[in-house]
Amino acid sequence: MGFLEEIKRRRTFGIISHPDAGKTTLTEKLLLFGGAIQEAGAVKSNKIKKGATSDFMEIERQRGISVATSVLAFVYKDKKINILDTPGHKDFAEDTFRTLTAVDSVIVVIDVAKGVEEQTEKLVKVCRMRKIPIIVFINKLDREGKDAFDLMDEVEQKLGLKVTPLSIPIGMGYDFKGIYNIWEKNIQLFQDESKQTIGKKEHFESLDDPGLEAEIGSSRLENLKEELELIEGVYPTFDQQEYLDGNQQPVLFGSALNNFGVQELLNCFIEIAPKPLAKQSDTRLVEPDDEKFAGFVFKIHANMDPNHRDRLAFIKIVSGTFERNKPYHHVRLKKKLKFSSPNAFFAEKKQIVDISYPGDIVGLHDTGNFKIGDTLTAGDILQFKGIPSFSPEHFRFINNNDPLKAKQLAKGIDQLMDEGVAQLFTLNLNGRKVIGTVGALQFEVIQYRLLHEYGAKCSFENLNVHKACWVEANTEGNDFKEFQRIKQKFLAKDKSGKLVFLADSAFSLQMTQDKYRDIQFHYTSEF
Ligand code: G4P
């Protein structure tokens, strides 16, 4: 198969949801339909279980599992599908945001009974900002839940999407009979109660099939006809370009656990979802069919074994081919690197590969060369954009508890920050180090890993910060000079040396913004 065909057949996407909506179950069923696994239960959940916040071993165990499930690839109807795993736990939201920089589209899973939940809102907001094509899958139709139309309204209002249903359920909960597939214009009734294998389906091409009325009864049939009329009147017809441009979002219904509507989702997905997309760099738009390799690091995973401090850096291939043992240019370090054992992912296993194509993810063993956002190329000097840091939610001073291990602590902090576990700010005034995280859980992870992987003991001390804002200003201007003098106590540098204002309250941030009109305060590091 030629280079262009290889690109065309790839679909790289992420599944996002609020915890417990069914992301893991859906992933597993997609793999099952793709023939990549033989039975349910093979994919281990990568979620940090509720209540595990102070159980370090549990955190470690979960981290280990997530290496295996970071990328799940399989071939379905000749399409190479790469599913990128996104942690649902809110404390790891930044990990998910970064993974979203490496996907070409997403599937959002929503629980039919719970509707749109908090984490879904946050993640979809990021997708909308980036205009990522979205398919919505409404899950758990085997349970009693909200009315399909009410739910689609909720999705539009809370998530700011413009939906168009591509399937509609017939009944729900105990009375769930099946799905009318608007996309394929057919009906599938599900009868097999088995939760482990793909159930038998009865298939009707038309609503006028007498067998259908016999199966679901005349009142349900009437109801279905009315609903389809309503859909035609109220929702826009599906337009693939609108979907690809991020302006329209198809909705499908089903039950991942019971295999209802999963294959329909997959069939629809491979037809409409985008092939690998171009990505903007600081110098140009890099097209996948550009024959020279370029890619970027979106995730770094530390090894589980504390005796080997090597890590796995996940690279999304944007253009060209990535080949084993070929020298590539590490743009930030300005040096050539060769990789003798790049890992590709297949189902839940990883294996060494000789060649990978745009859309694919390779895992490279790393001894500290990479940090998140790094670009690797066949020689071009360019840097991919779009992996910003967001303002953390929690801030604490980090103190060294063992003066003899200062070096180890500094190295440990440095490497953990490169992995994207948290963000480091250094106060301008006195050089004290402040760690910022999305969730409180990360402080425990950091403390534990510094001790076990670097032999460094640390403690944290609370610091009252409301938000970290990246400062953009004319440094010669009077406004900036005064701001720097008056707010000296609240100024810090991030890890790349950018100036950050650590506002102690929403009020003081507002006052500062009002006072210094010539200064811009950004909630993300890329502006
Ligand atoms: P997540 O990755 O989004 O956090 O969700 P996950 O797939 O782990 O699913 C959360 C729970 O919802 C699981 O139950 C799972 O079995 C259930 N579930 C997923 N899809 C469906 C569905 O279509 N119908 C119904 N009724 N349940 C569904 P659990 O009891 O928390 O875990 P488990 O013991 O079953 O693994």
The CATH number linked to 345 is 2.40.30.10
Q: Which of 17, 18, 20, 26 to mutate to test the pocket of ligand 1 (most atoms within 8 A of CB)?
A: 20
Q: Which of 16, 25, 141, 264 to mutate to test the pocket of ligand 1 (most atoms within 8 A of CB)?
A: 25
**Residue at 399 is within a domain:** yes
**Residue at 495 is within a domain:** yes
Q: Is 45 in the pocket of ligand 1 (CB under 6 A)?
A: yes
pLDDT, position 39? 62
Is the model's pLDDT at 453 over the cut of 90? no
**Residue at 483 is within a domain:** yes
Shortest-distance Cα residue to atom 24 of ligand 1: 140
**Residue at 209 is within a domain:** yes
pLDDT, position 168? 92
Is the model's pLDDT at 418 over the cut of 90? no
**Residue at 299 is within a domain:** yes
What residues have CB less than 8 Å from 293, skipping those under 6 apart?
Answer: 317, 319, 320, 321, 322, 323, 328, 376, 377, 378
| Same-domain pairing of 264 and 409 | no
pLDDT higher for 499 or 300? 499
Tokens 């576990």, located at residue: 421
Q: Is 22 in the pocket of ligand 1 (CB under 6 A)?
A: yes
Is the model's pLDDT at 264 over the cut of 60? yes
Shortest-distance Cα residue to atom 11 of ligand 1: 20
Neighbours of 416 (CB within 10 A): 22
Distance of CA 416 to the CA centre of its chain: 20
Q: Parallel, antiparallel, or unpaired: how do β-strands 394-400 and 335-337 relate?
A: unpaired
| Same-domain pairing of 288 and 430 | no
Q: Is 69 in the pocket of ligand 1 (CB under 6 A)?
A: no
| Same-domain pairing of 365 and 410 | no
Q: Total domain count for the chain?
A: 3
- Its pTM stands at 0.87
| Same-domain pairing of 258 and 128 | yes
170, 226 Cβ separation under 8 angstroms: no
What average pLDDT does the chain have? 87
Q: Parallel, antiparallel, or unpaired: how do β-strands 79-84 and 10-17 relate?
A: parallel
Least trusted range by pLDDT, from 123-132, 185-194, 268-277, 363-372 = 185-194
Distance (angstroms) between ligand 1 centre and the Cα of 21 equals: 7
**Residue at 221 is within a domain:** yes
pLDDT, position 394? 94
| Same-domain pairing of 159 and 31 | yes
| Same-domain pairing of 35 and 120 | yes
**Residue at 232 is within a domain:** yes
| Same-domain pairing of 167 and 267 | yes
Distance (angstroms) between ligand 1 centre and the Cα of 25 equals: 6
The domain containing residue 413 runs over which residues?
A: 394-522
pLDDT band at 218; cut points 50, 70, 90? confident
Q: Is 223 in the pocket of ligand 1 (CB under 6 A)?
A: no
| Same-domain pairing of 349 and 435 | no
| Same-domain pairing of 268 and 301 | no
pLDDT band at 61; cut points 50, 70, 90? low
- Average pLDDT of the residues in 78-105: 86
Q: Is 18 in the pocket of ligand 1 (CB under 6 A)?
A: no
The H or E element spanning position 367 is none
pLDDT higher for 342 or 86? 342
Which of residues 351, 377, 403 is at a domain's end?
377
CA distance 71 to 363: 9
What residues have CB less than 8 Å from 367, skipping those under 6 apart?
Answer: 309, 310, 311
Distance (angstroms) between ligand 1 centre and the Cα of 517 equals: 50
Distance (angstroms) between ligand 1 centre and the Cα of 286 equals: 39
| Same-domain pairing of 176 and 322 | no
**Residue at 107 is within a domain:** yes
CATH classification of the domain holding 412: 3.30.70.3280
| Same-domain pairing of 364 and 420 | no
| Same-domain pairing of 34 and 103 | yes
